[in-house]
Amino acid sequence: MVVMAPSGDIAMQQRDLIIISTVLMLLIIIPVIFLTLFFAWRYRRSNTAATYAPEWHHSTRLEIVIWAAPLAIIIALGAVTWISTHKLDPYRPLDRLDAERAIPADTKPLIVEVVALDWKWLFFYPELGIATVNELAAPVDMPINFKITASSVMNSFYIPALAGQIYAMPGMETKLHAVINREGEYDGFSANYSGAGFSHMRFKFHGLTREGFDAWVAGVKQQGTMLNRDAYLKLEKPSEKEPVRYYAGADADLYNAILNMCATPGKMCMNEMMHIDMMGGGGKESAENREKLRYDDRHAEEGIVAPAATVPATGAPARSEPERTDGSSMQHDMPGMQSTPGMDMQHQGHSMPGMSNGADPAPAQLNNNN
């Protein structure tokens, strides 16, 4: 129900789009249902008073109605979709606070950097120097600029009362511009399945007055600890039902390191690798960069594997044995084929987050950039 009664202007416009589209389609659906029932009753076999015209085959007026009405609705839906696609583009900066108020010229948006972890949410407030886990707050009627990424597998950042869902992907940054117009506590969660702890990957979003937000920030700074690289690497490890955490300070370049997959010491950042590629590559000497670019198995030495990875890619046992329709077990490998290093999807340029090669994994960054 919150989708149909949101508290943010972007979500309200999306709600209006749902209503408009539904009403336009019902303009055809309702008459068709009514006429279907009416014809069945009007021309029933027992009604001898109904007109019987077995040789009838054409009516220009009926053809015009049959084709013109759906065409008009399709044109209307197309126009609404075209306008809304551009107006509600999540990357597009806001131009209003709500339907009646434009954004004041001197308004500075609140920047929030979002990281989807396994299985919790990390929020950076770079201009305020603080960070939080599983709790987000913003002043009412202040534009919010979200920058969104992930540390592991793909997730989806979603606060139904605020705006539509936006995907969070490792090594990539997506954006969302939104504003909350009413005070309150709202639910946020991941809308894309991401492994065992997905069901509890939830957080609270607080819409506060300016004074309330300032007090919240002061509380974070008073109660919080420091989020440095070591603290982040501990936080990043998969865990479920994480409590709310406050960080009074955070390393200034930590979000960019997470985005470029190099928060772990000794790793090469993706933007550095892309710069090497842009300059023509590093030649044979770049082979030594391989270890610096390994990412998906970064916790392997601690016995932690990628959340969704199983055999044969990682050697981790499958959670269940697939069954054929005839009742026999299904082998993981194709008949006549051997699982050999260097012949997986990564080496074919199809590396995906959360996948690695068992014997000698190729770095996802290197494959993506190649």
Q: What are phi and psi of 154, to 5 degrees?
A: -70, 140
pLDDT band at 248 (very low <50, low <70, confident <90, very high): very high
pLDDT band at 266 (very low <50, low <70, confident <90, very high): confident
What pTM did the predictor assign? 0.75
182-216 burial, b if ≥16 CB within 10 A, otherwise e? eeeebebbbbbebbebbeebebebbbbeeeebeeb
pLDDT at 101 over 80: yes
pLDDT band at 326 (very low <50, low <70, confident <90, very high): low
Q: What is the pLDDT of residue 273?
A: 83
pLDDT at 338 over 60: no
The residues near 242 (Cβ < 8 Å, ≥ 6 apart) are: 119, 120, 133, 134
pLDDT band at 312 (very low <50, low <70, confident <90, very high): low
Q: What is the pLDDT of residue 169?
A: 94
Over residues 15-39, mean pLDDT: 93
pLDDT band at 165 (very low <50, low <70, confident <90, very high): very high
pLDDT in tens, 313-325: 556 666 666 555 5
User: How many Å apart are CA 124 and CA 247, to the nearest integer?
Assistant: 9
Over residues 85-98, mean pLDDT: 92
